[in-house]
């Protein structure tokens, strides 16, 4: 009689999964059956430092079934892994990855953190919450955003420009999956300002030094858990 591997004790499954050293092995382990998946943590914290997967450029899908797939190249085994993630849409821009999370923008004001391995998602305050964005109106087509630079000059930006050009990169101090607080640092193309996010709101002050050419440094301190 064949063994029913789905009936392995949960403590044994947890012990085995805790000894898997690679992200890919852990994902495949949890995909075996519902019992194995329910007995292991959705977001593990035991992995040693390792080379990250590289997100490959997105191409127009040949069929709708592939429209939500992200392609990741593993430097360790030289293989391409396909993960189904909603945020793989060509309309969305990925402006950084840190501690296993992607930072995703689209043509709405939203800024989101997405974990492609677990599917967990966390919303950061939107683009119009930055202190140098003084106005936002969806009805003002083609110039939805009103921005103010360090010399108090006003300019307008449309939805696509803000998605593609306002935020240069975002990095995290630690993984949101660990719970507690973490800090997100956003490097902006616009202005020269240091901004701090406390209690889900952006706060800023004019910088006395240049963080980098035509860039601003935004600090975001968040105390919340990922969904």
Question: For tokens 């989101």, what's the residue?
Answer: 112
Tokens encoding 126: 């939107």
Q: Specify which of 30-44, 46-60, 124-138, 178-192 reaches the highest per-range mean pLDDT.
A: 124-138
Q: What is the pLDDT of residue 213?
A: 32
Q: Specify which of 153-157, 215-219, 220-224 reaches the highest per-range mean pLDDT.
A: 153-157
Residue 140's pLDDT band (cuts 50, 70, 90): very high
Q: Supply the Cα-derived Rg of the chain in whole angstroms.
A: 20
Q: With 50 as the cut, is the pLDDT of residue 225 above it?
A: no
Q: What is the pLDDT of residue 224?
A: 47
Q: What is the pLDDT of residue 200?
A: 57
Dihedral (CA of 15, 21, 27, 31) sign: negative
Tokens encoding 90: 């060509």
Q: What is the pLDDT of residue 44?
A: 73
Q: What is the pLDDT of residue 87?
A: 65
Q: What is the mean pLDDT of the chain?
A: 76
- Averaged pLDDT for residues 201-207: 52
Bigger pLDDT: 205 vs 23? 23
Report d(CA 143, CA 106) in Å as an integer.
16
In whole angstroms, what separates CA 177 from the centre of its chain? 12
- Averaged pLDDT for residues 116-133: 85
pTM exceeds 0.75, yes or no: no
Report d(CA 67, CA 59) in Å as an integer.
9
Bigger pLDDT: 21 vs 156? 156
Report d(CA 129, CA 111) in Å as an integer.
10
What percentage of residues in the chain have a pLDDT greater than 70? 74
Residue 66's pLDDT band (cuts 50, 70, 90): very low
Q: What is the pLDDT of residue 190?
A: 59
Half-sphere exposure in the Cβ direction for 174 (13 Å, CA): 13
Q: What is the pLDDT of residue 26?
A: 84
Beta strands 93-98 and 121-124, pairing class: unpaired
* E strands, the chain, in order: 53-55, 69-74, 80-84, 93-98, 101-105, 111-114, 121-124, 133-136, 145-148, 154-157, 167-172, 181-188, 193-198, 201-206, 216-223
Please give the C-alpha separations between residue 168 and each of 24, 33, 35, 97, in angstroms, as whole numbers.
29, 40, 42, 12
Q: With 80 as the cut, is the pLDDT of residue 164 above it?
A: yes
Partnered with residue 187 across adjacent β-strands are 169, 217
Q: With 50 as the cut, is the pLDDT of residue 78 above it?
A: yes
How many Cβ atoms from other residues are within 10 Å of residue 135's Cβ? 14
Report d(CA 186, CA 130) in Å as an integer.
10
Q: What are phi and psi of 5, to 5 degrees?
A: -65, -20
Q: Are 183 and 195 in contact (CB under 8 A)?
A: no
Q: With 60 as the cut, is the pLDDT of residue 105 above it?
A: yes
Start-to-end C-alpha separation, the chain? 42
């Amino acid at each position: 009689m064949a063994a029913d591997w789905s009936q392995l004790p949960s403590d044994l499954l947890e012990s085995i999964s805790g000894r898997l050293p690679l992200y890919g092995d852990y994902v495949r382990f949890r995909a075996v059956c519902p019992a194995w998946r329910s007995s292991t943590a959705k977001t593990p914290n035991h992995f040693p430092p390792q080379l990250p997967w590289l997100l490959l450029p997105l191409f127009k899908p040949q069929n709708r079934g592939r429209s939500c797939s992200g392609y990741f190249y593993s430097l360790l085994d030289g293989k391409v892994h396909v993960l189904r993630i909603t945020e793989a849409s060509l309309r969305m821009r990925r402006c950084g990855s840190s501690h296993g999370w992607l930072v995703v923008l689209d043509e709405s004001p939203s800024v989101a953190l997405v974990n492609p391995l677990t599917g967990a998602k966390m919303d950061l305050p939107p683009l119009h919450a930055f202190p140098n964005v003084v106005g936002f109106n969806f009805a003002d087509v083609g110039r939805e955003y009103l921005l103010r630079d360090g010399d108090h000059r006003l300019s307008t930006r449309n939805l696509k420009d803000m998605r593609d050009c306002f935020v240069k990169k975002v990095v995290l101090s630690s993984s949101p999956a660990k719970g507690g607080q973490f800090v997100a640092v956003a490097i902006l193309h616009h202005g020269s300002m240091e901004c701090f996010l406390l209690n889900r709101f952006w706060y800023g002050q004019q910088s006395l030094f240049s963080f980098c050419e035509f860039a601003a440094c935004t600090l975001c301190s968040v105390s919340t858990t990922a969904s």
